[in-house]
Chain A
Amino acid sequence: MSINDATVPVTEELAARDDMIICEGVDKWYGDFQALKGVSATIKEREVVVVLGPSGSGKSTWIRCINRLEQHQGGRIIVDGVELTNDTRNIEKIRSEVGMVFQQFNLFPHLTVRDNITLAPIWVRKKPRAEAEALATQLLERVGIPEQADKFPGQLSGGQQQRVAIARALAMEPRVMLFDEPTSALDPEMIKEVLDVMKDLARGGMTMIVVTHEMGFAREVADRIIFMESGEIVETGTPEHFFTSPEEDRTKLFLSQIL
């Protein structure tokens, strides 16, 4: 479907050439509770951004707004030049360009690993089945579990499931990957295998937003760290700046609690 013609054009001054995601004063309420209070951030192409913050600070809500799993009620979100509005065509377009990995994996339990990966490329990207399957094999090799293609998700370990989930998201050949606490539901010995795949991805130049509690990963991989609390962005900076000389008191308090 040629949706490009129908999308809402974004004003030139707002979007620099390599701005992948632009959030402008994004507000979100759950009932009377305001989960996001005017969140503004711009993520460049090929940038890896790690979002840190205490539980309930709105990290997950924010990235779930970026692909419209949650609907924002104020401000603007522009992904790759397309603004998220109620227009379903824009939502469909953005979703097929933004891959997402969930805390609980959310693999489809009734499909084999291969079918989990090929479903969306075949039906959304309209790829021929053979091509989609070749891609699935290639992706499974990339995440290190080519031998599990014919198994069902229930037969895999948590770490393997999460790697399949990453492969599934990559199969759509997205321009941005969102990670919503990808290692929080994993046993400690499986965290590394998932983080390794993510590091590999980051080195490959993928634009990534990662919500995580893995400080080591943040320090090593992130281009930029965004610290959120109570629905607001408190501080932004490089890992070096963030871990060695944070400016805000709330950031210092958070770091003292976890480090």
Chain B
Amino acid sequence: MESTQLDTQTTAESNAAVRPEEPSLPPLTWMQRNLFGGGQGSIWAIARSSALTIVFTLLGLFAYQQLLNFIFSEETNWNSVRVNLRLLFTQAYPESDYHRVWISLGLVLVLSGVGLGLMKVGQGISMKKIATWCVGWGGLVVLGVFLRQPSVLVGDDGTPLLADADGVPLARDGLGTLVYLDGSPAPSQGLSVVRESYGGAISSRSGWLLIGLVLIGIAAAIWFGLGDRRRRSTFLPAIPFSLAGIGALISTTWWYNWGNYTFSTDEETGVSGFNFEPGVKVAETTRNPWTIMFVVLVGAYLLGRRLRGTAFEPRLKGLLTLGWFLAPFVTFFAILRGPEFDWGYVAAVDVPLWLAFGVGGAALMWALTKPGIGELGRVLAVLVLAIAAFTWIAAFFGWFGMLQKVRLSFLLLGLAALLAPNFIGEARQRLTLVYGWVGMITVFHVMVTIINTPSSIEVPTEDFAGGFMVSIYVTVFTLLFSFPLGVLLALARTSRLPIFRLLATIYIESFRGVPLITMLFFFTVFVNLFLPEGMELALLAAVTIAFVLFSAAYLAENVRGGLQAVRRGQYEASDALGLTTVQRTGFIVLPQGLRVSIPPLVGQAIATYKETSLLAIVGVFDFLRMARDIIPNQPEFLGERKPALLFICVVYFVGAYAMSKYSQRLEKNLGVGER
């Protein structure tokens, strides 16, 4: 009686809302259907699809085997990477100033942590996905155990054991000459290394085998444990789950003996060498900062989580955006470089200039937004722009010597004045522009002052940053500057004014028609020749400018594609409401156009990130150059290229993959409210 009732209830429920589940296929049936022709069609169709499956599986296995053989080969010296990790990531940054690197990283982690905390809680990671991961990785590990060729046997002296062409083992006598075990001389040709037996190899890798089997076991437990609920409602929160994983990894530095690797130069002899102490914990100088970093990240995450949904959230989000915008400048110029201010000069020149532009500009903005100013405002704005343009022209003829930042400040003032008509109105509205101006000019002057101040950090090379750090910074600054430039170019190219259209088109087409590497050489070699006397571009600034100009041309085309996707009705509705062209562009056209162009924009960002490896060719000590030129020239690792190159491939891949994943998430989030 009771069971009948239950049955009825279930049926009623499924009739009401729940979509009937498609039965999940048993693995064998799935394989038959998808890999071996599905049992439908002729015998030839089955044979054809089976043959394709088998051939390409073998191809994949072969590639996997070769990769494993290289990674685990006794001839691959991974110490060249382990010992040089610091070099690869930060170049010759002095150890005594390392806290600066950690502070920079900490700042970025605080921003990321709070940002993650504020993020909408997604669906999480489904248990089914975790099972799939486990079975995938476990399967790969198990496969690897059986696929990899048996290891080379190594003698007591650390060199591989050799055998002759028939497989008879050889040994070295007291003088190091190769002989047979009975002492007779060995042939000099046809020698090969001795490998352990296949069975021996498997048993010596039993640890790996165990890991793989445990992973598969977990997958099976999840799969069968969940039963029919597999397809619904069993999710792990993604971010805490990932944080726990990172935490577990970092905690191993406290209890697992990873061994300590260092690379140091002897002050007296000048000989550099690496020390490897196996069987000890990693040095405190590695373990403690990483632990602190993790705590900072988790703390920031919890803070964000706590403040989510409170009244602070909107303000916090604004602060975060500002933080992300300022972080590259602050870390690169203020923290990593350690500017040594000449306070007398700062007080005599920098502060008065800042005050003059800050107060004067604020007064101008207040005046320009006065209701009823009419055409006079536009005339004044154009006048300021004309002064700015004149100061630049004057620079090339050597008239009216003035600081570069004065010229730039005039330019900013002119641009702000052009925006002023949009802020005409009540005091509240006018103050928005005034505060905006003061904020912008303050940030600008602080940055320029810092950039113009010599650094306190002494490094052997011209650039204080190198390795992966410089690749990241060039990428970040390129994106930061090329994005607005690209948007402006796209707007100019779709503008109604022919002069804008013409100039933008010429710019875009010519920069797209020149190879990036040519641009890099041009900017590092020739541009300094064209600049007026007294102006000079540092190498990093030159390459960044080249990247910005190049990237902007491509971004502009991507953005233009997005702008053209905005429907005509949107323009008409904005016009009918009386919005000005600037307002229409800023509030209606750009937000919609940029949303459409997210995928190509992220593609461009990833391309820029990868293209920074071209810096190696124009003399910057970037990530690639470390792996290709510096490490193989160290006495310990002469000619040792492959491990480091494979390592940087992996690092580049992780970065690019993360960006691509992030963009997918962004697209999904912004998709809300789409037609």
Contact = CB atoms under 8 A, between A and B. Distances in A.
A123 B587 contact: yes
A92 to B, nearest CB: 6
B569 A106 contact: yes
Contacts of A259: none
Interface of B: 371-372, 374, 422, 424-426, 428-429, 567, 569-570, 572-573, 575-580, 583, 587-588, 591-592, 595, 672-675
Nearest to A155: B673
Contact of A109 (B429, B580, B674): B674
17 contacts: A1-B371, A1-B424, A69-B572, A92-B580, A102-B569, A106-B572, A108-B587, A108-B588, A109-B592, A112-B673, A120-B579, A123-B422, A124-B577, A124-B579, A124-B580, A128-B426, A172-B577
A123 B576 CA distance: 14
A172 B673 contact: no
A120 B572 contact: no
Given A102-B572, A106-B570, A109-B673, A92 B424 contact: no
B576 A99 contact: yes
The interface size bin for chain A is: 20 to 34
Contacts of A6: 374
Contacts of B587: 108, 119, 123
Contacts of B569: 102, 104, 106
Interface string A136-176: 00000000000000011111000000000000110010000
A2 interface: yes
Contact of B578 (A96, A106, A107, A110): A96
Contacts of A128: 426, 428
A124 B577 CA distance: 8
Closest 4 pairs between A and B when the two form their complex, measured CB to CB: A152-B673, A126-B425, A96-B578, A106-B573
Contacts of B422: 123
Interface in A1-31: 1-2, 6
Contacts of A209: none
A212 interface: no
B159 to A, nearest CB: 67
Contact of B595 (A68, A95, A110): A110
A110 B426 contact: no
Nearest to A168: B577
Nearest to A124: B578
Contact of B576 (A67, A126, A152): A67
A100 interface: yes
Contacts of A1: 371-372, 374, 424
A6 B575 CA distance: 21
A126 B430 CA distance: 11
B497 to A, nearest CB: 14
A95 B572 contact: no
Contacts of A106: 567, 569-570, 572-573
Nearest to B426: A126
Contact of A110 (B372, B576, B591): B591
Nearest to B586: A123
Interface string A86-125: 0000001001101110101011111010000001100110
Contacts of A102: 569, 572-573, 576
Among B372, B426, B579, B583, the one with the most A-chain Cβ atoms within 10 Å of its Cβ is: B579
Contacts of A95: 575-578
A119 to B, nearest CB: 6
Given A1-B374, A128-B426, A123 B579 contact: yes
Interface in A164-207: 168-169, 172
Nearest to A93: B578
Contacts of A119: 577, 579, 587
A102 B571 CA distance: 12
Q: Of residues B426, B569, B573, which shows the largest number of chain A Cβ atoms within 10 Å of its Cβ?
A: B573
B592 A110 contact: yes
A120 B426 CA distance: 16
Contacts of A99: 576
A69 B576 contact: yes
B564 to A, nearest CB: 16
A247 to B, nearest CB: 35
Contacts of B588: 108
Nearest to A95: B578
A151 to B, nearest CB: 8
Given A92-B578, A152-B673, A153-B673, 16 more contacts: A1-B374, A2-B371, A69-B575, A100-B573, A100-B576, A106-B570, A108-B573, A110-B591, A112-B673, A120-B577, A126-B429, A128-B426, A152-B672, A154-B675, A168-B577, A169-B576
B216 to A, nearest CB: 44
A110 B425 CA distance: 26
Given A92-B580, A126-B425, A154 B573 contact: no
Contacts of A155: 673
A155 B675 CA distance: 8
B466 to A, nearest CB: 42
Given A126-B424, A128-B428, A120 B578 contact: yes
Given A110-B591, A126-B424, A2 B579 contact: no
B674 A154 contact: yes
A96 B580 CA distance: 11
A124 B578 CA distance: 7
Contacts of B579: 119-120, 123-124
A110 B669 CA distance: 12
A154 B578 contact: no
A100 B571 CA distance: 13
Contacts of A154: 673-675
A71 to B, nearest CB: 12
A123 B673 contact: no
A62 to B, nearest CB: 15
Nearest to B425: A126
A91 to B, nearest CB: 9
A25 B108 CA distance: 66
A201 B428 CA distance: 33
Contacts of A123: 422, 579, 583, 587
A2 B372 contact: yes
B645 to A, nearest CB: 44
Contacts of B425: 126
A172 B592 contact: no
Contacts of A153: 673, 675
Nearest to B670: A110
A107 B673 CA distance: 11
Contacts of B429: 126
A184 to B, nearest CB: 14
